[in-house]
């Protein structure tokens, strides 16, 4: 009986041409950021909720444009009014999309797969943040384009000259306000990491707190003086009006620091250390 010995030839450590070395490099190379951005962008819209939220933005934009043309007087058929009407549903829906892009990792338990493929959670959250900003800017470009089209059609139907009363700088401040509002939804998603809780928190912040703070400002002089330095919703309104002063920019920065930047930093700290179940 003869014994046969099988030998395996190992590639040298410094050999970069062998198949073993190529496999080693492939296994060690991280997922590129461009692929992360593509994946996170696709994940935003490949669910039923994401798809219908995006469809609702387009449907509501067309309905808002038609409503302005039907119910507004000829003097109100301006680019500013068309853009505002189209932008209202986006201001409401876009932050919810940003919230769900984060909370879905926990609510749908896809985080186990996501953070296994990309163990560095900061890269994943950073990609989600970049995609949220990109979607917010793209949505505002769409809103302004639909508003311009509605302005042309409305003026043509009414037999008047179109009124272009929205400057480029004003468009930029409105876009910034929309992106900041979307980041509020993203921040709540990172901080709470639960879809129903984060969405409820967004609606409380955006639709319950502003009337209460305005009521307090009308009855209490101390809050009326402090509101521009304490109320982020109030200072965001400066952006929709356009032509901010240096003082208003400072107030926006201070309120944004306490209502957006610090909670977002806390949420990012918790996300990187929380257990994904």
User: What does the pLDDT profile of the chain (277 residues) look like in tens digits?
Assistant: 444 444 444 445 455 555 555 555 555 577 888 888 888 888 887 777 777 887 888 788 888 888 888 888 888 888 888 888 888 888 888 899 889 888 888 877 777 777 777 878 888 889 999 999 998 898 888 888 888 898 899 888 888 888 888 888 888 998 999 899 999 999 999 999 888 899 999 999 989 999 999 999 998 889 999 999 999 999 998 998 878 899 999 999 999 999 999 999 999 888 877 766 6
Give the integer Cα–Cα distance in Å for 176 and 180.
6
């Amino acid at each position: 009986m003869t014994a046969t010995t099988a030998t395996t030839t190992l590639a040298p450590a410094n050999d970069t041409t062998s198949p073993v070395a190529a496999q080693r490099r492939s296994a060690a190379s991280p997922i590129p950021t461009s692929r992360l951005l593509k994946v996170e962008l696709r994940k935003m819209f490949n669910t039923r909720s994401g798809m219908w939220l995006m469809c609702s933005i387009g449907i509501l934009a067309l309905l808002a444009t038609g409503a302005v043309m039907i119910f507004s007087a000829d003097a109100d058929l301006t680019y500013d009014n068309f853009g505002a009407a189209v932008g209202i549903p986006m201001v409401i829906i876009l932050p919810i999309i940003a919230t769900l892009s984060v909370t879905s990792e926990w609510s749908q338990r896809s985080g186990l797969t996501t953070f296994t493929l990309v163990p560095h959670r900061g890269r994943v959250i950073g990609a989600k943040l970049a995609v949220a900003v990109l979607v917010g800017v793209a949505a505002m470009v769409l809103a302004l384009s639909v508003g311009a089209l509605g302005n042309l059609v409305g003026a043509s139907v009414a037999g008047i000259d179109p009124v272009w009363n929205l400057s480029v700088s004003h468009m930029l401040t409105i876009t910034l306000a929309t992106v900041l509002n979307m980041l509020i939804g993203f921040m709540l998603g990172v901080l709470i990491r639960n879809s129903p809780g984060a969405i409820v928190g967004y609606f409380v912040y955006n639709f319950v707190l502003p009337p209460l703070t305005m009521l307090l400002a009308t009855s209490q002089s101390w809050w009326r003086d402090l509101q521009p330095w304490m109320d982020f919703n109030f200072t965001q309104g400066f952006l929709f009006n356009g032509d901010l002063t240096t003082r208003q920019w400072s107030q926006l920065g201070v309120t944004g620091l306490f209502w957006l930047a610090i909670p977002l930093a806390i949420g990012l700290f918790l996300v990187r250390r929380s257990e994904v179940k």
